Structure formats: structure tokens, C-alpha cells
Amino acid sequence: MAVETYFLEEVLDRLSSFGEISSKFMFGGAGIFVSGKMFAKISSSSVLSFKADDQNRTIFIDAGMIQPGKMPYFETTAEQMENEDAFLSVARLARDAALRGKVQK
């Protein structure tokens, strides 16, 4: 199964206020980048996850987000997907985490 293109386009549109955002298809899903750094990913089953680090991980957990694997990404909740303010709040935290981290190659 591959990421639904319409879902990727919707997410990119919702993140457009962040400036230059790009995406790349990878492993049946897609990575979403800001300034060359991945801050979000969409799984092959079209589940959006945001990047966590030591500064935002507790906030994500308290918001009910789960980390499905070992990668530092937490899945968005239904509430975050439906509420624009909640969506942009966790997206900003993930963007900031990515910008604090190392450059993706």
C-alpha cells in the first residue's frame, strides 16, 4: 500500500504557513521536510507522524500521541487532524525539533 497522494497534498497545504516545505516519497510513504530536515512522515497506510526530541516528547505523549516504532516520530491523533490549531501546534513542535537536529542526508 502506498501513501494516498490526496492526503499528502492536504497535509502539505495545511503546513504551507511554514514556508518552503518539500516532500519525498520513500518506502511506500512520504517524508516532509523544512530546510532540508525531515519533521514529519506519512506512512504507507496514510498515517501522519511528527518528529519528537527531548524537548517535545512529553508534550506529544501528554497529547495522546503514540510512538509506533523505534523512530522518533509520534502519530497524530484524530483531534489534531480535525482541529487546525492543535494540528499546527504539534507541527510547529516537530519542525522546531527537526531544526534543532542534524541535517538529513
Sheet hosting strand 48-51, strand order edge to edge: 21-26, 29-34, 37-42, 48-51, 73-75
Residue 73 has pLDDT above 90, yes or no: yes
pLDDT digits 0-9 by tens, 55-71: 999 999 999 999 999 99
Residue type, 69: G
Contacts 24+ apart (CB under 8 A), 73-82: 73/40, 73/41, 73/49, 74/49, 74/50, 75/47, 75/48, 75/49, 76/47, 76/48, 76/49, 76/50, 81/48
Predicted TM-score (pTM) of the model is 0.92
User: How do residues 78-98 score in pLDDT, each as one tens digit?
Assistant: 999 999 999 999 999 999 999
What are the residue boundaries of the structural domains of the chain, listed by start?
5-100
CATH 3.30.1460.30 fits 5-100, yes or no: yes
